[in-house]
Amino acid sequence: MMNKQLFLNKNFTSDGKPRAYVELRNIETLWFNTGTLCNLECNDCYIESSPTNKNLQYINLLEVKKYITEIKENNLRTKLIGLTGGEPFMNPNIIEILKYLLENKFKVLVLSNGMRPIEIRFKNLLALPNLNNLTIRISVDHFKKKNHEKIRGNNTWKQVIKNLIWLNTNGFNLNIASKIKPGETEKILREGFYKLFTKIKLNIDSYDKKKLILFPIMNYEKTSTEITQDCWGILNKSPESVMCSNSRMIIKRKDEINTKVLPCTLITKDKKFELGNTLVSSKKKVFLNHPFCSQFCVLGNSSCS
């Protein structure tokens, strides 16, 4: 069956079975997409970020404050705020956003490619309050320079390693996001990273799944399987294990004035996944009507947070 015939009906799969859905338990993690612009143009970027992609605008402090106020007023019990891009450190408002979130005692996780945009903010990062609550996740796509640069581009290795050493030396909470390519095993990757971290004296345990997070490389071209309600039982997997049961993400589209709430960090283009403007209005069932749902969450066995 061709891919284009799948994922048409929100409630039913192409062969008429009830499509799987996920209900929101609680917004444990609220993500903000800080904007799609990125200094890099990785060849497998799921959000197609680049130095010219402005599909999602830079988020600003007022927009962040609006949702933090909503969390507080509704006792939403959100503990972690995630910031992702693009490259969050390209956003001119990033330091004031981080300062506000940390002053408000949230745990904050910011994803970065570890290149020049974060480097020019090092001084500002050191001046932030409650730094214990900040974790910076740097993407290192492989423990070998050659394989990392195959994805991230030439001359991306030396700088990320240099900046990792600086962040580690200055006491920041760090973890690393990497990828498992087909044909490679988790064991090989964790061993390879162990040697790299030892060599550059990085205080990260490569055998800790929360410190070195391995994501499967997605194949956007391959035909995806649609997830039916029966699939949960067949796969012995619970809807509560996927990101949209405990997260939401705020975005601001190009040429739009209002921010929108999405179920997760992964599906940003498909407007059918928009859940309104407020966190309270976003408490809706999310039907898994997108190839990423099966590739990345249900079959790919990864939650991205």
Which residues form the interface with ligand SF4 (CB under 6 A)?
A: 22, 38, 40-42, 45, 49, 85-87, 113, 139, 242-244, 263-264, 266-267, 286, 288, 290, 292-293, 296-297
Query: For residues 133 and 252, which CB has a smaller minimum distance to ligand SF4 in the complex?
Result: 252
Q: Which helix (H) or strand (E) holds 65?
A: helix 61-73
Query: For residues 55 and 133, which CB has a smaller minimum distance to ligand SF4 in the complex?
Result: 55
Smallest separation (angstroms) from ligand SF4 to the CB of 130: 26
Query: For residues 204 and 304, which CB has a smaller minimum distance to ligand SF4 in the complex?
Result: 304
Smallest separation (angstroms) from ligand SF4 to the CB of 295: 8
Smallest separation (angstroms) from ligand SF4 to the CB of 127: 25
Smallest separation (angstroms) from ligand SF4 to the CB of 149: 12
Q: 146 CB contacts (<8 Å, ≥6 apart)? A: none
Smallest separation (angstroms) from ligand SF4 to the CB of 297: 3
- Return d(Cα 106, Cα 126) in angstroms, integer: 17
Distance of CA 210 to the CA centre of its chain: 14
Closest CA relative to residue 160, chosen from 180, 145, 181: 145
Smallest separation (angstroms) from ligand SF4 to the CB of 100: 23
Q: 73 CB contacts (<8 Å, ≥6 apart)? A: none
- Return d(Cα 108, Cα 186) in angstroms, integer: 27
CB 24 within 8 A of CB 261: no
- Return d(Cα 177, Cα 110) in angstroms, integer: 12
Helices 61-73 and 94-103, packing angle to 10 deg: 20
Query: For residues 83 and 264, which CB has a smaller minimum distance to ligand SF4 in the complex?
Result: 264
β-bridge partners, 18: 12
Q: What is residue 11's three-state secondary structure?
A: coil
Cα angle: 24, vertex 25, 30; to 5 degrees: 70
Query: For residues 35 and 97, which CB has a smaller minimum distance to ligand SF4 in the complex?
Result: 35
Query: For residues 71 and 288, which CB has a smaller minimum distance to ligand SF4 in the complex?
Result: 288
Smallest separation (angstroms) from ligand SF4 to the CB of 301: 11
Query: For residues 94 and 286, which CB has a smaller minimum distance to ligand SF4 in the complex?
Result: 286
